[in-house]
Amino acid sequence: MTIEQFQQTIDETYGERDAQRGLERTFMWLVEEVGELARALRTESHERKVEEFSDVLAWLTTTASLAGVEMSEAAARFAEGCPKCGETPCECGRRR
Ligand SMILES: [Zn+2]
C-alpha cells in the first residue's frame, strides 16, 4: 500500500465523518492519540504499540486531508535525505 492509497482508504472510510467534525476537533483527536502512543511506548506489548502507531497514522492522515495536504507530498520532503542539510544520514548538528 502506497501513502497515496493509504490516504485514499482513510478518506473513504472516515472522510465524511471527519469533515463534519471539522479540522480543529479532528486535530484534537490526533493529539489524544499521540498521548495514547506515549503510554503504549512505556508500558505495553508490541501489538498495542502497533495499534497505537496505526491510530496516530490514521488520525494524522485524516487531519492532513481536512487541511488539504497530500501525505505523499509531505513524505516527499524527505526523499532526498534531510530537508535541511540534504544529507543521508543527516549531518545537522555534526558540522563545526
Ligand atoms: Zn540534516
Q: How far is the CA of 77 from the centre of ligand 1 (A)?
A: 12
Across 3-14, average pLDDT:
98
Q: How far is the CA of 65 from the centre of ligand 1 (A)?
A: 27
pLDDT tens sequence across 19-47: 999 999 999 999 999 999 999 999 889 99
Q: How far is the CA of 73 from the centre of ligand 1 (A)?
A: 19
Q: Is the pLDDT of residue 95 over 70?
A: no
CA distances from 66 to 5, 32, 44, 51, 53 (A): 16, 17, 31, 23, 20
Q: How far is the CA of 39 from the centre of ligand 1 (A)?
A: 29
Q: How far is the CA of 58 from the centre of ligand 1 (A)?
A: 27
